Structure 1
Amino acid sequence: MPTQRSDATGSTGKNARRRAKLPEHLDPGGELVTGDTELDGALLTGPPPDPEDERVVADVGLTASRWSSGRLTGRRFRRLRCVDVVFANCDLSGVVLENSGLRRVEFRECRMSGTVLAGTRMEDVLFLRCKLDTANPRMIAGDRLEFLDSELGRADFHEAALKRTGIHDSDLSGADFSGADSRGLRLHGSRLHDIKGAGDLRGATIAPDQLVDVSTALFAASGIAVGDRR
């Protein structure tokens, strides 16, 4: 029986990611994204107002909302809570999340280079065609995450919990999985050249055509060199 795979429109199987649920009608509300706010059923566009405290936005809750073409480069969010939220075509490069939680959230074609997600609680989260090179998801508490057709070069998954996670058809060149909990992690179709922490991918599943990259990384981690006889 063929293995079931997830796609951009939904997932299949007992560990399927639950999709974000948005109402048919959303009310414009981009000017309201400041500290200590709760938005439900909002349509957000563009950047939020500049916060007064060194670009830090604290205690924001977004529910059943969509944020399109947001420019949030370098913003710092403290205690951001998102449930049933879609970020589409947003620039989140260098964004920092502190003590935050994401549930049923989708990032679609977002630029997230250098984004810091360290320690974020993430459940049923999708990254579709996102640029996540040098991103920092260290020590995230993840369950049912999907990375599809995304750039994850040199991403830092150090000690990340990647429970029931799929990273498919993505570039993971130079990514670091040291200390990660990889039980249930699936990596089919992804480029694994020069990954770090390959020895901590115990419990992960790869395809036969990925054996060379993973084996090379394991040899490098063990100090075994591969070369011609001299």
Structure 2
Amino acid sequence: MPPLPRRARSRLRAPALTALDAAALEPAGPEALRPDELADSLLLEGADLTGVDLRGSRIVASRLDRPRAPELRATDGSWREVELLSPRVGALALDGAALSSVLISGGKVDWLSLRGAELTDVVIEDATITSLDLTEARLTRVALRDCRIDELTMDRATCVDVDLREVRPGVVHGVDALRGATVGPAQLMDLAPQLAEQLGIRVAD
């Protein structure tokens, strides 16, 4: 008798975040963040990061609390066990970065770019993001919770255990890349016109 086919896993796996040990964090200023270098177990509070270059940097077990900058470039680096709390950033570029066990909570980012990035165990919550670009990103156990996102770009992204139930983006580009994501009934209604267009379905009275 041939074996029965395996049933597809239906349970959505939530992101697993590692809690930071606040007592182990060392207060630091913007000068502790440099391109292509390691920043480990740091606490930055209310830091003005204008002009700070984080390209290629590795940030580990650190908390950035209320950072502000018109533009922050952190491309091609890695963030592991990082908390970014209440940021006020015009543009945050994390293209090609690797994010693991990362919490982004509160605050406002006008443009958050994660093009080609790898996100594993990432939570974005209570945040306002004008434009979130996930083009060609790889998302595993990612949750967007109670966020306002005016524009979401998903072109050629891949999703595994991605929870979008608590966000209703205004405009979505690349709806076909939502395969592997979980949405709620209200979001499905919002996405219906774009899904119909993607499938070549004409809707008429």
TM-score bin (small chain): 0.7 to 0.9
Q: 2:14 touches 2:143 (CA, 8 Å); kept in 1?
A: no
Question: Which residue is equivalent to 1:70?
Answer: 47
1:114 is the counterpart of 2:98: no
Q: Structure 1 111/224 Cα, relative in aligned 2: closer, same or farther at 3 Å?
A: farther
Q: Structure 1 17/194 Cα, relative in aligned 2: closer, same or farther at 3 Å?
A: same
1:48 is the counterpart of 2:31: yes
What pairs up with 1:160-179 in 2 under 5 angstroms? 160-179=137-156
Q: 2:109 touches 2:128 (CA, 8 Å); kept in 1?
A: yes
Unpaired stretches in structure 2, ≥5 consecutive residues: 1-10
TM-score, scaled relative to structure 1: 0.75
Choose the corresponding residue for 1:124, options 101, 107, 127. Answer: 101
For 2:76, give the aligned amino acid.
N
1:140 is the counterpart of 2:124: no
Render the CA deviation track for 1:204-229: whole Å, top value 9, x for unaligned. Answer: 001112111121232344565656x5
TM-fit CA distance, 1:43: 0.3
Question: Which residue is equivalent to 1:98?
Answer: 75
Aligned-partner Cα distance in 1 for 2:71–2:85: 17
* Shift >6 Å, 4+ stretches: none
TM-fit CA distance, 1:79: 2.4
TM-fit CA distance, 1:44: 2.0
Q: Which has the higher strand share?
A: 2
Render the CA deviation track for 1:177-225: whole Å, top value 9, x for unaligned. Answer: 1111112110122122221111110010011121111212323445656
Question: Which residue is equivalent to 1:152?
Answer: 129
Q: 1:42 touches 1:64 (CA, 8 Å); kept in 2?
A: yes
Deviating more after overlay: 119-128 vs 67-76: 67-76
Tell me: higher relative CO, structure 1 or 2? Use CA pairs within 8 A at least 6 residues apart.
2
Aligned-partner Cα distance in 1 for 2:48–2:202: 46
Aligned-partner Cα distance in 1 for 2:116–2:36: 21
Deviating more after overlay: 15-24 vs 115-124: 15-24
Aligned-partner Cα distance in 1 for 2:14–2:74: 30
Aligned-partner Cα distance in 2 for 1:148–1:175: 15
Render the CA deviation track for 1:48-107: whole Å, top value 9, x for unaligned. Answer: 39xxxxxx9423322111111111134322321111100001014421113311100000
1:198 is the counterpart of 2:182: no
What pairs up with 1:1-16 in 2 under 5 angstroms? 15-16=15-16
Aligned-partner Cα distance in 1 for 2:203–2:171: 14
Q: 2:76 touches 2:94 (CA, 8 Å); kept in 1?
A: no
Question: Which residue is equivalent to 1:38?
Answer: none
Aligned-partner Cα distance in 1 for 2:14–2:133: 28
Q: 2:121 touches 2:142 (CA, 8 Å); kept in 1?
A: yes
TM-score, scaled relative to structure 2: 0.84
